[in-house]
Structure 1
Amino acid sequence: MPIGARLQQLIDALDISVLEFARQLGEKRGEKVYHILHGRLKPRYETLQKILSAYPTVNADWLLRGEGLMFRTLPQTPLAAITLDDRLRNMEFLLFQLNERVALLQQTNDLLRQELEEVIGQKKVISLSYVSRRSDLSSES
């Protein structure tokens, strides 16, 4: 996985914006970080050092080579626990919404299938009626 993708994962895991991440590294704007994230720049050694200094729980092996876990230790602060609980609640809500949408799509699919079967049935009736009428016309001739 490219370093830009790892940095994006880190920013997502920290639940901060790219601009906030850049500011934690001493940058006034987030352009350099955006360029790294999109593969237009490779991070310099100094940038990697700043990341590891600003976020000491980040595993350097993961950051540099993609080996091991993202964090050396999981944060045990109450804020992290609240954030994790909030994330879990959000995920549960999103799963609930997704299940509701799937159920609605299933209902719509069932209705469409039923309408299609009715149209096919009507087509068969019309086709049989047409064949019967042609048969009647040819027998009259």
Structure 2
Amino acid sequence: MIHSRLQELIDALNVSVLEFARQLGERRGEKVYHILHGRLKPRYDTIEKILLAYPQVNADWLLRGEGLMFKQLNSPSAAITTEERLRNMEFLLFQLTERVSLLQETNDQLLVELRRLGGKL
């Protein structure tokens, strides 16, 4: 969900919610807090402000959760640091680990079901 990706972004940028909100032109952080807690969905202008304030952020990742959090080095507007690349890799590893865990659970459930069905035949 976009609010969880927004929290990941704030964490990765190592800024406070208030500092993040101020980078978007907000005087206070209330709107960002409401988005982070799922009470508001970010509007187009908010997404646009995020991408303008942080040009290294990958819009596909922010909007849909696809790709890396930060743009690749060969992108003209992306000044990505080694630390940001490491965060991207850690995040991808986390996602893969979660997927493997989910697949293992599904596999275990299917094995139980197969054994149960095999006993009825």
Secondary structure at the aligned position of 2:11 is classed as: helix
What is the TM-score of this pair, normalised by structure 2?
Answer: 0.61
Q: Per-residue deviation at 1:41?
A: 0.1
Q: Per-residue deviation at 1:73?
A: 3.0
Measured in 2, the distance between the counterparts of 1:64 and 1:35 equals 17
What does residue 38 of structure 2 align with?
Answer: 39
Q: Per-residue deviation at 1:27?
A: 0.1
What does residue 49 of structure 1 align with?
Answer: 48
Measured in 2, the distance between the counterparts of 1:68 and 1:76 equals 17
Equivalent residue letter for 1:38: H
Measured in 1, the distance between the counterparts of 2:49 and 2:41 equals 14
Equivalent residue letter for 2:60: D
What does residue 105 of structure 2 align with?
Answer: none
2:68 counterpart of 1:63? no
Q: Per-residue deviation at 1:5?
A: 0.2
What is the TM-score of this pair, normalised by structure 1?
Answer: 0.53
What does residue 117 of structure 2 align with?
Answer: none
Q: Between Structure 1 and Structure 2, which shows a larger proportion of helix residues? A: 1
Q: Which has the higher contact order (CA 8 A, sep 6+)?
A: 2
Q: Percent identity?
A: 77
Measured in 1, the distance between the counterparts of 2:58 and 2:46 equals 15
What does residue 5 of structure 2 align with?
Answer: 6
Equivalent residue letter for 2:81: Q
How many corresponding residue pairs?
79
Structure 2 unaligned blocks of 5 or more: 74-79, 87-121
Equivalent residue letter for 1:52: L
What does residue 73 of structure 1 align with?
Answer: 72
Q: List 4+ stretches of structure 1 deviating above 3 A.
A: none
Secondary structure at the aligned position of 1:27 is classed as: coil
Computed over aligned residues only, the root mean square deviation of the Cα atoms, in angstroms, reads: 1.8
